Every structure is written in C-alpha cells, then in structure tokens.
C-alpha cells in the first residue's frame, strides 16, 4: 500500500499525481479452481499508466510453468496444461514510473477425471461372503474425497480421507466392503458414489457414480426330471422330459434345453437321460432311465374261418392289418407266411 505524500520541492504536481493514481486489476477477481489437464489464463492490467512494466511470479518463487504475453497495458499468463505443480499463489507486479504495485490470485488444482470402478472378488452366491471394492482413480487432493457404497437405496458404507498429504500427487483411493448375499439381493444394484468437496466447479462434476447390477447365483440343487406320459413308452409314441431345480436359470438336458420332446420313438431311444443344472457357482445332476417298449400289433386274416379247413391249400389273398393302417398281402402255404 502506498500512502499519500506531498510532492518534494520543485516536483511537478502533474507528474506526482500520475505516479500515485495508476491502478492494477487482475482477472479473474477470485481464485481459480482448475482440473489437471485444463488450460487457464491469468490477466493483469493497469489504468492511468501509459507504459507499464509487467512481471509474474509465484509467492514462493517456484517456476511459472507458463507463457507470459505483454501487450500495452495488459499482461497475460497462460498455463497449458495445468498440473499439480501449478497450485500456487500467483503475483502480478507492475512498475509505472518509479512506483510498483502487486496483485495476486490463488490457483487451486484438483483431479477427478474418471467415474469410480466397482470390483467384486468373485461370483455372488447366496450365503457366501464376497468383497466389493470401489476404486476412484487419479484423484487429487484426496483429503477432500468421500466415497459411498450403496446397495439398492441403502448406504452400506461411507469413507472420508481427511488427513492431508504433504506430497502433491494424484492417487487412487478405494473403499472395501465385505457382505454376504441373500435372496433379497437378486436384482438389486451396487452404486459407488465419489464426491470431491471443492466448491465453484462448473466445468467438471463434483460427484461421479457407477452402478453395477448384482448377479446373485444360487447353486443348483434338488434337480428333478419329470417324464410325461411315462418312462416306459411304446414304439411310435411321443413323450416329453422336463428338468427343474431350485435355481433353474441354466439347466442342460442332453446338451439341449431344460425340456426335451421325443416324437415317434424307436427302440434305440432307450437309455439313461441325464439332466445337469449348471451355473457359475455349482451344478447338480439327475438321471432317469427310459425303456421304449416294442409295440404289439394285430394280424387279421380274411377270410378267417375258412383258413383252418383249407390250411394245406393256398389261400386266397390274405390281408394283415398293422397299427399304422398299412396293408400287406401274403400267401399262406404249409402254415408259414411269405411276403409276396
């Protein structure tokens, strides 16, 4: 600050007032909050001074790591890209005639470039503990970070990192929670929410979140194969086998689906059928034995009563009726059937 002084003897009153009247302005007027990788510009200007001399420095005389451009009554300091090393109080010094004025502005740096990441230690199985980790990568300053893990709409755990670090660097911070999935967790979601408590941030969000739907498994058990109509069908019949278990979301029956339909069955369809319920956390098998019975058929010979009397003689055209309504012609001779 400069006080008002009377001009010395012989000094020009006009020159004295010019030296005392010049002012310095800096823009932005308040502190700058910038994210690592951004570009910032600090402007310093004067009024009532025709030929000012500008210079920039940090309060602790660290390197500027920026470019200075002087033009007339204005000077601009541009820093691109911003890094943690640019977190300083910057001073603009202006000399006009024999007078010197300084004005300063603080620059605060933060890093919050990515959404949190959710990592699960293994497959989620009902009744078995699992560890969930919420990672926030490359955050700075981490003493202003808060991480919260939610399951559905319920907060599971919140963690703050309040102890400041003397070192200035980006760091990945995490929150870990171990819980045991239950049936009610099926279909719910995990939400990892990270907040950096820095005010006046407009260009980047202060809150970032990631959602992961819970894929909770139940190990298959109590597998059952139901057979309709029975496990002893006759040839040419049709039947359906259906496989179910307590967790029937991924059942395999003979490497097919959980339902198997056989049409116009043959003797070679007999055998042991296996249903296997499989998912990421277990499997359960069930077997059923299927025996295809030979189908009985009826032979009708026409004319019926005359054959006994004339058995030694060749009969007239004889008709045999099979179940599938096909007709075959035979000649009877010496009590044997021969196909025509």
List Cβ neighbours of 229 (8 Å cut-off, separation of 6 or more). 237, 239
pLDDT value of position 296? 74
pLDDT value of position 186? 86
Residue indicated by tokens 């005639």:
97
Q: How far is CA 40 from CA 20, 80, 86, 89, in A?
A: 32, 7, 10, 14
Could you tell me which CATH class the domain 224-290 is placed in?
mainly beta
Alpha carbon distance 334, 219 (integer Å)? 68
Residue pLDDT, tens place only, 140-179: 998 889 999 999 999 999 999 887 777 788 999 999 999 9
Other CB atoms within a 10 A radius of the CB of residue 158 amount to 13
3-state class (DSSP) for residue 336? strand
pLDDT value of position 1? 34
Could you tell me which CATH class the domain 13-109 is placed in?
mainly beta
pLDDT value of position 307? 45
SS (H, E, C) 131-187: EEEEEEEEEECHHHEEEEEEECCEEEEEEECCCCCCCCCCEEEEEEEEECCCHHHCC
List Cβ neighbours of 116 (8 Å cut-off, separation of 6 or more). 134, 135, 136, 147, 192, 193, 194, 208, 209, 210
Give me Rg for the CA atoms of the chain.
Answer: 46
pLDDT value of position 200? 58
- Within this chain, domains 13-109 and 117-217 share the same CATH topology: yes
DSSP letter for each residue of 38-71: --EEEEEEEES-SS-EEEEEETT-----SEEEEE
Other CB atoms within a 10 A radius of the CB of residue 233 amount to 21
Alpha carbon distance 47, 52 (integer Å)? 9
**Could you tell me the fold of the domain covering 117-217?**
Immunoglobulin-like (2.60.40)
* Residue 208, token pair as written in the block: 């970032």
pLDDT value of position 36? 93
Q: Where are the chain's structural domains?
A: 13-109, 117-217, 224-290, 306-339
pLDDT value of position 192? 97
Could you list the mean pLDDT of each consecutive 10-residue stretch along the chain, which spans 340 residues? Answer: 39 44 88 92 92 93 92 95 93 92 93 95 91 95 93 94 80 95 90 86 73 88 88 91 70 58 91 85 87 77 50 44 36 28
């Amino acid at each position: 600050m400069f006080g008002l002084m009377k001009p010395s003897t012989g000094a020009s009153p006009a020159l004295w007032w010019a030296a005392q009247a010049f002012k310095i302005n800096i823009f932005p007027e308040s502190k700058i909050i910038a994210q690592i990788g951004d570009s910032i510009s600090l402007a310093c200007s004067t009024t009532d001074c025709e030929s000012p001399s500008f210079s920039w420095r940090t309060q602790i005389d660290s390197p500027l790591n920026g470019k200075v451009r002087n033009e007339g009554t204005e000077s601009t300091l541009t820093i691109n890209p911003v890094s943690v090393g640019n977190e300083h109080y910057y001073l603009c010094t202006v000399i006009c005639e024999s007078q010197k004025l300084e004005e300063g502005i603080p620059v605060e740096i933060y890093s919050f470039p990515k959404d949190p990441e959710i990592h699960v230690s293994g497959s989620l199985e009902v009744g078995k503990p699992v560890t969930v980790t919420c990672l926030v990568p490359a955050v700075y300053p981490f003493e202003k970070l808060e991480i919260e893990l939610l399951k559905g709409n319920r907060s599971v755990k919140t963690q703050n990192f309040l102890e400041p670090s003397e070192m200035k660097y980006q760091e990945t911070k995490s929150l870990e929670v171990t819980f045991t999935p239950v049936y009610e967790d099926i279909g719910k979601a995990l939400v990892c929410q990270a907040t950096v408590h820095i005010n006046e941030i407009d260009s980047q969000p202060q809150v970032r979140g990631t959602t992961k739907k819970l894929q909770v498994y139940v190990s298959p058990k109590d597998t059952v194969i139901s057979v309709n109509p029975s496990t002893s069908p006759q040839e040419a019949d049709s039947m359906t086998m259906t496989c179910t278990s307590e967790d029937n979301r991924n059942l395999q029956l003979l490497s097919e689906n959980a339902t198997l339909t056989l049409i116009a069955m043959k003797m070679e369809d007999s055998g042991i059928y296996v249903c296997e319920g499989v998912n990421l956390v277990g499997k359960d098998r069930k077997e059923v034995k299927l025996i295809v019975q030979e189908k009985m058929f009826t032979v009708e010979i026409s004319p019926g009563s005359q054959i006994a009397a004339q058995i030694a003689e060749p009969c007239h055209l004889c008709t045999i009726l099979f179940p599938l309504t096909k007709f075959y012609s035979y000649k009877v001779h010496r009590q044997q059937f021969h196909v025509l």
